[in-house]
A and B are shown apart, each in its own frame.
Chain A
Amino acid sequence: MTTYDRGDIVLLSYPINDALEMHLRPAMVIYDVHPSDAGIAIVPISPEPSERFLTMHLPQGSFEAARFGLMGAGYLTASDEVIVERAFVVRTIGRCPWQTLNEFIGMMRQPIVPKAKLRVRERTVAAEGFVREAV
């Protein structure tokens, strides 16, 4: 049985609708459990940035996109990994460069917090005691 390494870029067979139609979609392997187990953990690579999760942009014509084997600009989504059955994985098309992988794993660990409001520092009025009178 084929095993995968963290950072492998694979094509998944993905059902678009309830009909028999399946299409291939790229995803990155986060970890592969023991070959005897049926599932592997992946994160999707999408054509649009996610509104909910942090995403890493892989522009077309960049070395990263080339090593990933992408056919256009893509976004690596730092969502929780999704476990899929091994049977859905069709084949490997590329590999994530290790620097990018490290950066992405860091993004996955980063908690998503809503943007804090910009705090405007109040203008402090000098206390009377500290104001020196000109003599």
Chain B
Amino acid sequence: METVPISPAAVPELIEEMVDFFSRMGSMGAEVAFWRAKSNGVQLAKFKDALSRLCHHPTYLQEPAPRIAGDIRAFEDLHQRITALVGQIPFESKVDLIHRSLIPVYQQVYVLDNLVMCLLVRLRQRGKGSLGLSLQAGSLLSVESRREMRERFRESAPSWDRKDWNLYDDL
């Protein structure tokens, strides 16, 4: 497949294209839409590729705050649409009723949902200028119990102390 490098300036256009695509898919009904068009799979793969590149883009998260604010709003709208579609996908319970060849298409939608969420969280953190909000629930626990908890994970997850893993605080 043709891979085109994505520039931060092209992000609004990409988001608009994705919103349009998912609105159409949502209005048609997930199952019917996927049954009808094989080309949708190709389109989803293209979106996935573009978002993956954006996640690893060296300068995208250094864009000025007003630009990021605009992208955050656009990504939020997009995320709502994809989440609605994911809600319609009977992947867990009715998997036997779906043609096997469609499973990769459903998987692509899950991946897109995840990538958009990932970009949103990172953009929000960038907008706030910090790496995650710490919780203050620790006051409910004694120093000993906090130490004991850390001790339990010292061997199996020493990298849990890394700051870039604070992404989950904003979920």
Give the B-binding residues of A (Cβ under 8 A).
11, 13-16, 18-26, 43-44, 46-48, 50, 52-53, 60-63, 65-67, 69-72, 77, 79-80, 82-84, 88, 93
B80 at the interface (CB under 8 A from A): no
B23 at the interface (CB under 8 A from A): no
Task: Please indicate which of the listed interface residues B110, B157, B166 has the most CB atoms of chain A within 10 Å of its own CB.
Answer: B157
Q: Pick the contact of A61 from B111, B141, B162, B171 — CB < 8 Å?
A: B111
| Chain A residues with CB below 8 A from B146, complex form | 15, 18
| Chain B residues with CB below 8 A from A65, complex form | 111, 114
Are B138 and A22 neighbours in the complex by a CB distance under 8 Å?
yes
A18-B147, A22-B138 are contacts. A44–B157 as well, Cβ < 8 Å? yes
| Chain A residues with CB below 8 A from B167, complex form | 71-72
Are A82 and B156 neighbours in the complex by a CB distance under 8 Å?
yes
For residue B29, give the distance in angstroms from its CB to the closest CB of chain A.
22
| Chain A residues with CB below 8 A from B134, complex form | 16, 21-23
Are A21 and B138 neighbours in the complex by a CB distance under 8 Å?
yes
Are A44 and B160 neighbours in the complex by a CB distance under 8 Å?
yes
In Å, the complex CA distance between A11 and B114 comes to 16
Are A22 and B136 neighbours in the complex by a CB distance under 8 Å?
yes
Interface range on chain B (Cβ under 8 Å from partner): 35 or more
B35 at the interface (CB under 8 A from A): no
For residue B100, give the distance in angstroms from its CB to the closest CB of chain A.
14
For residue A44, give the distance in angstroms from its CB to the closest CB of chain B.
4
Are A84 and B152 neighbours in the complex by a CB distance under 8 Å?
yes
Are A16 and B161 neighbours in the complex by a CB distance under 8 Å?
yes
Give residues 100-116 of B contacting A (CB, 8 Å).
107, 110-111, 113-115
Are B157 and A20 neighbours in the complex by a CB distance under 8 Å?
no
A-B contact count (CB 8 A): 123
Are A71 and B155 neighbours in the complex by a CB distance under 8 Å?
no
| Chain B residues with CB below 8 A from A13, complex form | 135, 137
Q: Pick the contact of A24 from B122, B138, B139, B171 — CB < 8 Å?
A: B171
Q: Pick the contact of A20 from B110, B139, B160 — CB < 8 Å?
A: B139
Are A15 and B150 neighbours in the complex by a CB distance under 8 Å?
yes
Are B110 and A46 neighbours in the complex by a CB distance under 8 Å?
no
In Å, the complex CA distance between A52 and B158 comes to 11
For residue B146, give the distance in angstroms from its CB to the closest CB of chain A.
4
| Chain A residues with CB below 8 A from B162, complex form | 47-48
Are A67 and B141 neighbours in the complex by a CB distance under 8 Å?
no
A63-B107, A72-B118 are contacts. A11–B171 as well, Cβ < 8 Å? yes
In Å, the complex CA distance between A71 and B117 comes to 8
Are B135 and A23 neighbours in the complex by a CB distance under 8 Å?
yes
Are B168 and A20 neighbours in the complex by a CB distance under 8 Å?
no
| Chain A residues with CB below 8 A from B118, complex form | 60, 71-72
